[in-house]
Amino acid sequence: MTPTPTFFESKNTLTCNGELLDLSDPVVMGIINITNDSFYHGSRFKQKRRIYNRAKQIIEEGGKIIDIGAFSTRPGSNPVSEDQELQRLSKAAATIRKHFPYAIISVDTYRASVAQRMVNDFGVNIINDISAGEMDKNMFTTVAELGVPYIAMHMLGTPLSMQNNPQYDNVINALFKYFTSKTEELKRLGVNDIILDPGFGFGKTLKHNYAILNNLETFRVFNLPLLVGVSRKSMIYQPLNTEPKSALNGTTVLNTIALLKGAKILRVHDVKEAVEAIQLTQTCTSEQLKNS
């Protein structure tokens, strides 16, 4: 009989097309946005050649997952049509699969029909849903039927409205309640590979974002991998009075803090730097050093 996981025995593998992705050591998810209006200009890739070059860069720099998205989720953004989303994602997925057939691809979508098409047509490995089923009630049953890992992110409202004075009695308690409900529903449907994303910047003030980061280790009680996506976001460049293109150093600082607090997946624009942060953090916390 398998023992019940304890606080220190988080799930450390994901099943991707029959292969296990080991999360014993944290991994990096590199971003490819097939859009004109992502908040960070350096992450926009529309032409096939640029998509290929970016996927190649992610893999060569040590990224384990390629996350493709077809519309911006920056504050105040409007969604694209389903047809346009599918057209953009299909171009990206086909390009990546042609040149890197064994790459682990994650699709950033909240539409169940899009998730289904991308898995069935291109063998996409992971569904990354910014709304955790809130924007499409068919998403949970679809993911259960597809049998792929699922990233459930917390967001207050929608991208169009999420930063219109977001308020919580206690943001940590709100996220705990939210993830408890979502994980129970997913597990009832038979979804076993669940990743939790606190949703930095999605319906949170600067104070909320740092409260979550400061308490990130408490979410390990769910015994599920934690994904952190703070790359070049306003929680970095606003306190530093700068802009996204100047926020790489700040991103590395916050990624390092997240790793020390239990993050297993870093979703980033800058893969090489995130991989190095993982390597040095792992070196610093290794048992060999602890026992020296």
**pLDDT above 90: percentage of residues in the chain:** 78
267 is catalytic: yes
pLDDT for the residue 180:
97
Active-site residue flag, 74: no
Contact assessment for residue 13 and residue 20, using Cβ atoms and an 8 Å cutoff: yes
Catalytic residue among 88, 111, 264, 267: 267
For the chain, the average pLDDT equals: 90
Residue 17 binned pLDDT confidence (cut-offs 50, 70, 90):
confident
Give the Cβ contact number of residue 57 at 10 Å: 14
Q: What percentage of the chain carries pLDDT values higher than 70? A: 86
More confident residue, 227 or 292: 227
Q: How many CA atoms lie within 13 A of 152 on its CB side?
A: 27
Domains of the chain: 24-282 (3.20.20.20)
Mean pLDDT within 203-210:
95
Mean pLDDT within 206-228: 97
Quote the pTM value. Answer: 0.90
What pLDDT does residue 267 have? 98
Q: Predicted confidence band at 2 (pLDDT cuts at 50, 70, 90)?
A: very low
For residues 180 and 162, what is the distance between their CA atoms, to the nearest angstrom? 21
Q: CA 42, CA 252: separation in Å to the nearest integer?
A: 17
Which candidate, 109, 49, 27, places its Cα nearest to that of 73? 109
Q: Per-residue pLDDT averaged across 5-20, rounded?
A: 75
pLDDT tens-digit map of 30-74: 999 987 655 445 545 568 999 999 999 999 999 999 999 998 766
What local confidence, expressed as pLDDT, does residue 47 receive?
Answer: 82
**pLDDT score for 158:** 63
pLDDT digit string, tens, across residues 122-173: 999 999 999 999 999 999 999 999 999 999 999 987 666 656 677 899 999 9
- Residue located via tokens 């190649």: 56
| Residue whose token pair is 């792992």 | 282
Lowest-confidence region among 81-90, 150-159, 202-211, 222-231 = 150-159
Question: Above 50 in pLDDT, residue 200?
Answer: yes
Of 88, 111, 204, 233, which residue is the catalytic one? 233
Q: Which two tokens stand for residue 233?
A: 């976001």
Q: Is the dihedral of CA 251, 253, 254, 258 positive or negative?
A: positive
